[in-house]
Structure 1
Amino acid sequence: MDISELQKIDEVPLREVWEHEEQDFTPWLLENVDQLASLIGIEINDVNRETAVGDYTADLVGTEPTTDDPVVIENQFGSTDHDHLGKLLTYAAGIDARFVVWVAEGFRDEHRSVLDWLNTRDSSGARFFGVRPRIVSVGTDDAPLGFEFTVIVEPNDWERELRDPLSDREQGYREFFTALVDAYAEHRPSWNRLTPQPRSYLTFGAGISGISFGWVFHGETEFSVELYIDAGDADQNEVIFETFKEDRTTIESNLENDVVWEPLPDGRACRIKVPRSTPAPVEELTSHEQNELIDWGTDQMDAFRDVIEPRLTQL
């Protein structure tokens, strides 16, 4: 490439893309919360807008599924200010949040210092993140826009905490899903690449809050592609589940694999999955067995999404 063709990147204020912070940007953030979660290295499920905290309402509140710990997200246009800092701390305390994310276009030095101090001194175990959303354009005025999140502040030991110490199985999960992410991203370039964690599952949003696609290990010898339904209310989950089940014959015939319908009576969620047995636990799979499972998971997820996504748009 001729480097003389390189063009300058121009930043675009968020207000030029989303006119109103609360009415436009917050709903977009809700629909794309998986991008934010992937960046900071967690998953966020059951996300709701305008959650009441005393006399105030938090922008977004969700749950980290592994621990069931609350997650609070406060977003704003422009640079950080004392008003939003006060709100952030009020919401965090009000719901006893363990993950606190401040999304802002710029972070003043004093506010970065506050977040760093909280990560060092907070006795509740809460983890504070500062994340900057950024819109850029390249070249001409009619060039397409690009978007990215950048972590500005995170707990000092966060990378180490995500990494160590890991059991053999946790390491196996991370290695497997890292390879699966690479394979699926190559297969479907438009897919938002996830950051695998040492867990038995890897999920991403299905376009409706509380509903997600996922690859999941169940026990030691089952791997599945699935749709997990937890829209926040047991009755609503059941309605969604039964709506899919009404079309069970067509769904199963299109997938050409056994489909398991699980209402999960001991909890509020429901699950639709296509399982496959594995010859060994994840940490004992040979390279050939792992590659074969990844190929199956990649192809099966495509087939699964092709069948499920059109029906999701009708809910």
Structure 2
Amino acid sequence: MERYVAQIQDHNLRTVWENEERGFTRWLAENIDLLGSELGIELEDARTEEAVGDFSSDIVAREMNTGETVVIENQYGNTDHDHLGKLLTYSSGKNAGFTIWLAENFRPEHRSVLEWLNESGPKDVKFFAIKPRVLSIEGSDERGFEFEIVVEPNDWEREIVDDSLTETEHSYREFFAEMVDTYSARRPTWNKLKPGPRNYLTFSAGTSGVSFGWVFHQTPGFSVELYIQTSDPDRNLAIFEALKEESDKIESNLDAELIWQRLPEKAACRIKWAKPIERRITELSMDQRAQLIEWGAETMDEFQEDLEPRIRSLDVS
């Protein structure tokens, strides 16, 4: 007997979000972490209809680990020259580090433009073409959603040229690449990030402006941290103080003495689980680096497990 295999069916975005601006764009801004997860970056502070001169971009966000501006232009149906012009205008006006065009179908000439920009355009801007897809299994009314990457920068991190990196920058990128793999093994659903040549790697704590991170310090030292830096200094302090009121319980659960820091010069606050190290990252042996990665992954797992639910339950509005 011939076996029947149900087919995956594509649906127009309008079948879920009738209006692009009031429906899909607002949904994407509220779920910007889904797009970040697909790209391996941490997106936050997504704002819709952000002014750019006399016009407004669909979404402007921020990439947490680089601080770069992210410009997103959405389009139902086939791409056109009008939206391409808007995309480039908004990207230039916002000095974007990430420029993302979402459309249901990309014309070959528009794909070619983005590929050319990634190849020959400004070296500090990354261009993406992404197809948002609404899916269902044949015969079912249930809908699923995914992002299909159509165009991305060559080797993704085109701005990071190996020959231009210092020994320290190389070491940071290699260290955090191993940390990402190790932590992903502990938390398979965690957003697997693309590390850069920096002394830190951060990811969202579930609230905009609040992040977990692994950080190398100058002392030398290494730490697992919660960093609180929303756009409102008073809210930063309120989150910090609310958590500090539970410091005895938190430190007892973690069996650790944490460092609680107000950082008025940065209008931010930090909670740090520190680990002194004897050498800078370029001087660590393979065994020392492996032990530090294992400590960082295990400690972050415990740290996130305890603090993330507390942060989500805070009412400091």
Q: Per the shorter chain, which TM-score range? A: 0.7 to 0.9
How big is the shift at 1:208? Answer: 1.9
* TM-score (norm. length: structure 2): 0.81
CA distance in 1, matches of 2:60, 2:116: 23
Partner of 2:284: 285
Partner of 2:301: 302
Q: Please say which of residues 258-267 and 76-85 is displaced more in the overlay.
A: 76-85
How big is the shift at 1:276? Answer: 0.9
- Match runs of 1:120-159 below 5 Å: 126-134=125-133, 136=135, 141=140, 145=144, 147-154=146-153, 159=157
Aligned-CA RMSD value = 3.3
How big is the shift at 1:204? Answer: 1.6
Partner of 2:71: 72
Count residues with an aligned counterpart: 311
Q: Please say which of residues 32-41 and 48-57 is displaced more in the overlay.
A: 32-41
- Aligned with 1:128: secondary structure? strand
Partner of 1:161: 159
Q: Please say which of residues 60-69 and 267-276 is displaced more in the overlay.
A: 60-69
Partner of 1:215: 214
1:269 aligns with 2:280: no
Judged with a 3 Å threshold, the aligned counterparts in structure 2 of structure 1 residues 193 and 41 are, in CA distance, closer, same or farther, namely: closer
Judged with a 3 Å threshold, the aligned counterparts in structure 2 of structure 1 residues 49 and 219 are, in CA distance, closer, same or farther, namely: farther
1:172 aligns with 2:198: no
Q: Is the 2:130–2:147 Cα contact (8 Å) retained in structure 1?
A: no
Partner of 2:224: 225
Q: Is the 1:220–1:282 Cα contact (8 Å) retained in structure 2?
A: no
CA distance in 2, matches of 1:284, 1:6: 57
Partner of 1:194: 193
Q: Is the 1:31–1:209 Cα contact (8 Å) retained in structure 2?
A: no
Q: Is the 1:39–1:151 Cα contact (8 Å) retained in structure 2?
A: no
Q: Deviations over 1:228-267 (max 9, x none)?
A: 2222222222222222222222222222212122222112
CA distance in 1, matches of 2:139, 2:258: 50
1:49 aligns with 2:59: no
CA distance in 1, matches of 2:141, 2:188: 23
How big is the shift at 1:279? Answer: 2.7
Judged with a 3 Å threshold, the aligned counterparts in structure 2 of structure 1 residues 99 and 300 are, in CA distance, closer, same or farther, namely: same
CA distance in 2, matches of 1:283, 1:124: 28
- Aligned with 1:207: secondary structure? strand
Partner of 1:184: 183
- Aligned with 1:196: secondary structure? coil
Q: Is the 2:173–2:196 Cα contact (8 Å) retained in structure 1?
A: yes
Q: Is the 1:220–1:280 Cα contact (8 Å) retained in structure 2?
A: no
* TM-score (norm. length: structure 1): 0.81
- Aligned with 1:301: secondary structure? helix
How big is the shift at 1:102? Answer: 1.5
Q: Is the 2:37–2:191 Cα contact (8 Å) retained in structure 1?
A: no
CA distance in 2, matches of 1:15, 1:83: 20
Partner of 1:60: 59
How big is the shift at 1:194? Answer: 1.4
Q: Deviations over 1:248-293 (max 9, x none)?
A: 2222222221212222211233222211112322222222212211
Aligned-residue sequence identity (percent) comes to: 49
How big is the shift at 1:12? Answer: 5.0
How big is the shift at 1:215? Answer: 1.4
Judged with a 3 Å threshold, the aligned counterparts in structure 2 of structure 1 residues 9 and 308 are, in CA distance, closer, same or farther, namely: same
Q: Which amino acid aligns with 2:259?
A: V
Partner of 1:247: 246
Unaligned runs of 5+ in 1: none
- Aligned with 2:223: secondary structure? strand
CA distance in 2, matches of 1:263, 1:178: 30
Unaligned runs of 5+ in 2: none
Q: Which amino acid aligns with 1:162?
A: I
Q: Please say which of residues 145-154 and 233-242 is displaced more in the overlay.
A: 145-154
Q: Which amino acid aligns with 1:198?
A: P
CA distance in 2, matches of 1:66, 1:181: 14
